[in-house]
Chains A and B, each alone.
Chain A
């Protein structure tokens, strides 16, 4: 095989299964690629060559002994450093967890191992998944492989950058308000937030419990679907995990459920126009025309409550985070600061948290503490949960008429690193279009729609009803193949070649 890092996950899995290449060779090629490019990209915060090759060897051994291989056996994957995995540190991009090695595996990690997926390492992220640029990490900034001066999106920016930089064909991210879809959009890859509850949160370090959802990054819709099926499924250790069969997303991605001919697609009035960059709007309009030409019935749908998604989200997520992050107090694991024998426990906790958390995390903890306080709860948290109901009703009304909803994924292409670093409200606007389906809980996908301003990728977002994840894959796959036909190949073929350094 010439360049194993250029293969799709499905191609790699087929090659490993057929014995054309070993999992060890595949893993080695990606480890080499990481070594060559990560100094520039900084997608990973932890790579353990030995551990990775041992996992690959286990797949090769299973194949040699004729054991059954999973659909992604031997395929390397980059894991967002928010999932626990034995044998590796979990930092969540935070100094407060520096050096913490969890004594247990996340359910997602167990499933990856059972499927023969080879974890290459842990990827950088905004601290505790709070951010849209992967600038808020205690372990440095991750760069967009399309333009190293730009952000790779966030909070799962390490994962999106790794896939775009061909360091891994697959990655896992988490999406609380858009943290898979927005990074996918700005790095020109596919990213999916499954229905809330589809993927177990056991072992996913919580940011906002009622919104957090793990999901796949890939370079094709089919690859994303294959990973989706490995990750999803009922987990008795997560009380909010859906106890129902996983929707047939891989079949949908293969076109087995049909194309878009005759499907009704809704374009959300509130998620376009003002505030969206011209290049973003232009690519979006082209997608709409393309869908029409493919036989879809595209209609405009108004969802007035979506205008309140941003304020509702920035009350609910900080509120839950203020409670979820309380446990990082320096008593049982992670950083402890100020323990000089004189300070009492309360001071040690306060000093530890002051030193261990970055500014965005502190801001959200205080915001959430405020929103949950006696006297403010009803006006803030309580009211935000009601807004959530209104948003859900808008979605439900829309899905009575249409099969999927469509919008740009982000208002702009990747912005320059540092541009919004000290302007939280401007930063929060990166999630404008992704927040409604986070609050509703339905599945949503971002897939590449072309290049926009500054020749940077633009993403289009497909949304579907709760538990109808197959719908976004069905439309996504049809759109992907029509777009690639137009482009003459995947969008990622147009990414500038990264300068490679380090040992080859």
Chain B
């Protein structure tokens, strides 16, 4: 097996100077239905092993599947949100192959008759010339079931190679999945990695807006397989593709595509050939390594699932589901950008920080958009980066941030104190008011105490007082700093400056 470090890569710039990358992205989304695709077992994440299992999802002899109505509705809603046609008649098929995490040794999926097909998704990519809007084609979205979870034991811990044996928990077996497949993506070569990232970001937002999945990539409720091939510039036919799996974050999608472009480029330009195979992405160094070589096209012997009836949504049903679609994330962003008066760039950094929803909710509580943005994409985003967590999962709510904004604009807090309040809230010390009270963080609003500190500072720096008297008002900053220091940052700087000027002018 080739180790990541032994792979020689071509520089990205050289690679895209010679080759045109062609991508295909397959995204599996675990639906948040209460029950599994074909049985009534709960789908909750994290239950004790093999406690959410019944004869159906354990594939016991004699058990039969029955389709979850809600899963079909979610599939149709996803299809509609992606602008797909909804098949008036679609079917489940069996995809036959043996694998121990699959209780029936076939996956019930959809094959040539998917529920949704032929759609499109608009994405926005940052380029050197500013944001660029690109439309990607959606080949299909279909329903299928998830597999159980395998843990490899013995040998090199956790790795399939060298493991002595494996243990299987079938709780996840049968959880409904929607697989969304793009049409081949051919964009400006330099943009390919960013396009992959933007697609997954946009799709994830859409899924979340639809409320059909948590779409947590780190928990595996949204999983991305990236297919990539290169063709020499000017050639029409596609090259051999690889399929990179295990891509567990949005950032990794971009890295994986970039890596494969560089790796395939060096293989091809040194006269080698690309092997059709699955590859595995490694978070630590952003590399991919060879998985299973597909010596021959796997023969899945698909045939219509005889235990299930066709799914044939009539127009009325489809239209009633269409009526439940939320505003598309793209339109919503355009609306918000206009309402808040943001530049495209400001909007993009808001999205990149994963804070759009949170800011919107904070604004909905009455906060000024600028203030809300300042805190979510500033101090809170900084901490989330530090901790390597999404902003959304930090234990601070839009209501907390709104309260902090109110306290700040009332003058009860200054920015420095507000940052301490955020820190306290994140440390689990309670809501903003509780943190203010317990940490004693109120701004010193007693002019007498401030004047005392000002007098002391002016006395210590008589030359500064003279400068101010001479009209060099900006020199007051040094006194403000001294006062802030003396009050341990609890003073309102604006008020201090005002008092200094008054004092010096003798008013």
A and B touch in the complex (CB under 8 A): yes
Q: Could you list 18 A-B pairs, sorted by A, with CB under 8 Å?
A: A84-B60, A90-B62, A92-B61, A201-B62, A208-B306, A210-B306, A239-B65, A239-B309, A322-B301, A323-B303, A331-B168, A332-B58, A333-B60, A345-B100, A345-B166, A349-B98, A372-B302, A374-B297
By the criterion CB–CB under 8 Å, are B66 and A326 in contact? no
By the criterion CB–CB under 8 Å, are A329 and B98 in contact? yes
Q: How large is the interface on A (under 10, 10 to 19, 20 to 34, 35 or more residues)?
A: 35 or more
Which chain B residues lie closer than 8 Å to A326 at the CB level?
Answer: 96, 98, 104-106
Chain B, residues 85-125, CB within 8 Å of chain A (1/0): the string is 00000000010101010011110000000000000000000
Chain B, residues 64-98, CB within 8 Å of chain A (1/0): the string is 11110000000000000000000000000010101
B129 at the binding interface (Cβ < 8 Å): no
By the criterion CB–CB under 8 Å, are B303 and A84 in contact? no
A487 at the binding interface (Cβ < 8 Å): no
16 further contact pairs, Cβ within 8 A, besides A97-B61, A326-B105: A104-B55, A203-B63, A205-B61, A206-B61, A206-B307, A208-B306, A238-B66, A240-B308, A320-B306, A322-B96, A326-B96, A327-B61, A332-B60, A341-B164, A372-B301, A373-B301
B188 at the binding interface (Cβ < 8 Å): no
Which one of B64, B98, B100, B303 contacts A381 once the chains associate, using CB atoms below 8 Å?
A: B303
By the criterion CB–CB under 8 Å, are B299 and A239 in contact? no
B184 at the binding interface (Cβ < 8 Å): no
Q: Which of A204-247 contact B (CB under 8 A)?
A: 204-206, 208-210, 236-240
Binding site for B on A (CB under 8 A): 83-84, 90, 92, 97, 100, 102-104, 106, 201-206, 208-210, 236-240, 319-320, 322-323, 326-329, 331-333, 341, 345-346, 349, 369, 372-374, 377, 381
Which one of B66, B104, B303, B306 contacts A327 once the chains associate, using CB atoms below 8 Å?
A: B104
By the criterion CB–CB under 8 Å, are B62 and A206 in contact? yes
Which chain A residues lie closer than 8 Å to B309 at the CB level?
Answer: 239-240
**A323 in contact with B62 given A209-B307, A381-B303 (CB within 8 Å):** no
A369 to B94, CA, bound (A): 13
By the criterion CB–CB under 8 Å, are B62 and A239 in contact? no
Chain B, residues 150-192, CB within 8 Å of chain A (1/0): the string is 0000000000000010101000000000000000000000000
Which one of A210, A332, A345 contacts B103 once the chains associate, using CB atoms below 8 Å?
A: A332
Which one of B59, B62, B164 contacts A203 once the chains associate, using CB atoms below 8 Å?
A: B62
A-B contact count, CB below 8 Å?
A: 103
By the criterion CB–CB under 8 Å, are B94 and A323 in contact? yes
A304 to B67, CA, bound (A): 38
A450 to B66, CA, bound (A): 44
Which chain B residues lie closer than 8 Å to A102 at the CB level?
Answer: 55, 60-62
Which chain A residues lie closer than 8 Å to B66 at the CB level?
Answer: 236-239
A100 to B106, CA, bound (A): 21
* Residue in chain B with minimal CB distance to A128: B61
By the criterion CB–CB under 8 Å, are A327 and B105 in contact? yes
Query: Chain A nearest CB: distance from B143 CB in Å?
Result: 14
A92 to B61, CA, bound (A): 10
A457 to B395, CA, bound (A): 80
Query: Chain A nearest CB: distance from B126 CB in Å?
Result: 43
A239 to B302, CA, bound (A): 20
By the criterion CB–CB under 8 Å, are B299 and A84 in contact? no
Query: Chain A nearest CB: distance from B103 CB in Å?
Result: 6
By the criterion CB–CB under 8 Å, are B62 and A84 in contact? yes
Query: Chain B nearest CB: distance from A282 CB in Å?
Result: 39
A236 to B64, CA, bound (A): 10
Query: Chain B nearest CB: distance from A199 CB in Å?
Result: 13
A471 to B60, CA, bound (A): 36
Which chain A residues lie closer than 8 Å to B301 at the CB level?
Answer: 322-323, 369, 372-374, 377
By the criterion CB–CB under 8 Å, are B64 and A202 in contact? yes
A328 to B103, CA, bound (A): 9
* Residue in chain A with minimal CB distance to B305: A209
Query: Chain B nearest CB: distance from A426 CB in Å?
Result: 28
Query: Chain B nearest CB: distance from A89 CB in Å?
Result: 12
Query: Chain B nearest CB: distance from A386 CB in Å?
Result: 13
By the criterion CB–CB under 8 Å, are A332 and B59 in contact? yes
By the criterion CB–CB under 8 Å, are B303 and A377 in contact? yes
A328 to B94, CA, bound (A): 16
Which one of B61, B96, B307 contacts A240 once the chains associate, using CB atoms below 8 Å?
A: B307
A103 to B297, CA, bound (A): 38
Q: Which of B300-342 contact A (CB under 8 A)?
A: 301-303, 306-309
Query: Chain B nearest CB: distance from A321 CB in Å?
Result: 11
Query: Chain B nearest CB: distance from A175 CB in Å?
Result: 16
The 5 A-B pairs of least Cβ separation, nearest first, read A326-B105, A372-B301, A209-B306, A210-B306, A205-B61
A59 to B395, CA, bound (A): 61
Query: Chain B nearest CB: distance from A19 CB in Å?
Result: 37
Which chain B residues lie closer than 8 Å to A369 at the CB level?
Answer: 301
Query: Chain B nearest CB: distance from A113 CB in Å?
Result: 16
Which chain B residues lie closer than 8 Å to A319 at the CB level?
Answer: 303
Query: Chain A nearest CB: distance from B325 CB in Å?
Result: 28
Which chain A residues lie closer than 8 Å to B297 at the CB level?
Answer: 374
Query: Chain A nearest CB: distance from B176 CB in Å?
Result: 16
**A201 in contact with B61 given A323-B301, A372-B301 (CB within 8 Å):** no
A381 to B306, CA, bound (A): 13
Query: Chain B nearest CB: distance from A38 CB in Å?
Result: 25
Which chain B residues lie closer than 8 Å to A373 at the CB level?
Answer: 299, 301
Which chain A residues lie closer than 8 Å to B302 at the CB level?
Answer: 372, 377
By the criterion CB–CB under 8 Å, are B67 and A104 in contact? no
Chain B, residues 439-453, CB within 8 Å of chain A (1/0): the string is 000000000000000
By the criterion CB–CB under 8 Å, are B104 and A205 in contact? no
By the criterion CB–CB under 8 Å, are A372 and B96 in contact? yes
By the criterion CB–CB under 8 Å, are B62 and A204 in contact? yes
Query: Chain A nearest CB: distance from B290 CB in Å?
Result: 18
Which one of A103, A323, A331, A333 contacts B96 once the chains associate, using CB atoms below 8 Å?
A: A323
By the criterion CB–CB under 8 Å, are A327 and B62 in contact? no
* Residue in chain A with minimal CB distance to B165: A341
Which chain B residues lie closer than 8 Å to A84 at the CB level?
Answer: 60-62
Query: Chain A nearest CB: distance from B401 CB in Å?
Result: 48
Which chain A residues lie closer than 8 Å to B299 at the CB level?
Answer: 373-374
A104 to B64, CA, bound (A): 13
A238 to B66, CA, bound (A): 7
Of A210, A236, A327, A341, chain B has the most CB atoms within 10 Å of the CB of A327
By the criterion CB–CB under 8 Å, are B64 and A237 in contact? yes
Query: Chain A nearest CB: distance from B268 CB in Å?
Result: 29
Of B55, B64, B164, B299, chain A has the most CB atoms within 10 Å of the CB of B64
By the criterion CB–CB under 8 Å, are B60 and A104 in contact? yes
A132 to B164, CA, bound (A): 44
Of B63, B96, B297, chain A has the most CB atoms within 10 Å of the CB of B63
